[in-house]
Amino acid sequence: MWSTGREVAAGDVVIVWQTRELVQPLLITPGKDFNSKFGHYRHSDLVGIPYGSRVDSRNGRGFIHILRPTPELWTMALPHRTQILYLADIAFITSWLDIRRGSRVIEAGTGSGSFSHSVARTVGPSGRLYSYEFHEGRAEKAREEFIRHGMQDIVTLTHRNVCKDGFTVENSADAVFLDLPAPWDAVVHAKKALRKDRPARICCFSPCMEQVMRAVSALNEAGFTDITMYETLLRPHEVQQFPTPLPLSHVIDKLKDMEKFREEKRLRQIANHKRKREDAEFSEPDKRARTDELNAGDQNSLQAPLITVREEDDANEVEAQMVSLSKVCHEVRGHTSYLTFARLVPFMPETLESAAQAPPLTDN
C-alpha cells in the first residue's frame, strides 16, 4: 500500500499536513501547483524530499509538512463521498471482529473507503477484503483509489446491491461488517458467506436504537449468538508537564528537619512552663530579666527550616523532576452509530451425538 520509498517521488500520493483540522491528500504531479492559505508550492519542489519534511512556501506565507499516507491519516484526509467511519470505531470493530493478518473480510457498503484502508492493512497480502457498493459512481471512485494506493491485490470491489443479490463468496469469510441503511436485509446473505468450520463474526453499524432492534431480531432469527451492542465514547486526557523544583530526596530531608524542629519546640515549651512556674517565686525585676533571656533564646535557636533549592543542586537535577499530570476531560462522542456484534457458531452434530452417548454423571 502506498509508496515505501524514503523520498517523495512523482506519482506518489502524499498527505499534506497544514493544521490538525486541515489535512489533505495530494497526488504529486510535476508541473502542477499546490495553493492554500499557508502559501504557494510547486509539486516539483516536493519531489526528492524525505517523507516527514517541513516545506516552506515559495511566497513566504507559511509552511506545510509532507507525510507518508497511513490508513489513519487517510481517514483524516480522504475526500468524503459519504459519511465515514472514524478511528475509534474502526479500531473497536477490527478488534471485536477478530480481524487479523490473513483474515477474509466482507464489508458493505464501501462508501468513501475509510474502513477499507484500515482493514486492507490489517489483513495484508495473505488476507482478502471483499467490498460491496451499490452506488456506481462511488464504486468507480473507490476502485480507482484502491488501485492508486496499491491495494488491488488485497481488495476486491464489487458493484452490487447486497441486500437483494447477496455476496460473491460462500462459506469462507471470517467476518462481515455491514454499514448499510438496512443491514437486517443482508443478514441472511452474510450467514451464507461466513465460514461454517469455526466461529465467525458479524457487526452491524446502525445509527439509532430502532435500527439496532431490527438488526438484533434479524441476527436472532438467522441463528447468530452472543449478540452484543456497544457504543464507542472517547474520553480525552489533557496531559501537562509540571516542574517539581526540588529533588524528592531534598524534600524528604527538609521534612525530617521540620519534624526535629517541632520536637525541639515542644520540649522548649515544656521547659518554659516549668520555669514560669518557678519564676512565680522570684522578685519583679528578676522576673523581667529571666523572661527577656528566655525570649531571646527562642528567637536564636527556633528557626523553622525553609524548603529552598540548595546551592549544590545543579540545574539538570532540578529539571529532571518534571512530572506529567493528566486531567480527564468530559466524555465526547467517538462514533456516529451503535455497533451490534454477533457470532455464528458452527453446528456440530457429532459433538451433540457424543454428548448424548456419554455415561450419565453420578454423585461419585
Q: Give the bridge partners for 67, in sequence order.
A: 15
Contact status: 200 vs ligand SAM (CB under 6 A): no
133 is in an annotated binding site: yes
179 near ligand SAM (CB under 6 A)? yes
Residue 145 or 174: which CB sits closer to ligand SAM? 145
Closest separation between CB of residue 356 and ligand SAM, Å? 43
Measured distance CA(180)–CA(215) in Å, rounded: 11
- Residue 285, C-alpha cell as written in the block: 525585676
Burial of 291 (0-12, 13-18, 19+ CB in 10 A): middle
Query: Minimal distance in Å, beta carbon 115 to ligand SAM?
Result: 4
Binding mask 54-83 for ligand SAM (x = CB under 6 A): ----------------------------xx
**Binding of ligand SAM at residue 207 (CB under 6 A)?**
no
> Looking at 15, 28, 162, 175, which residue binds ligand SAM (CB under 6 A)?
162
> Taking CB under 6 A as the rule, does residue 89 contact ligand SAM?
no
Cβ nearer to ligand SAM, comparing 12 with 89: 89
Size of residue set near ligand SAM by CB under 6 A:
22
Q: How far is the CB of 255 from ligand SAM (least distance, A)?
A: 57
- Does position 84 interact with ligand SAM (CB under 6 A)? The reply is yes
Is residue 180 close enough to count as binding ligand SAM by CB under 6 A? yes
Q: Of the candidates 94, 103, 112, 131, which one interacts with ligand SAM according to CB under 6 A?
A: 112
Nearer to ligand SAM, 46 or 131 (CB): 131
Category of 360 on φ-ψ map: left (φ > 0), alpha (ψ -120 to 50) or beta: beta
Q: Contact residues for ligand SAM (CB under 6 A)?
A: 82-85, 108-109, 111-115, 132-135, 138, 161-163, 179-181
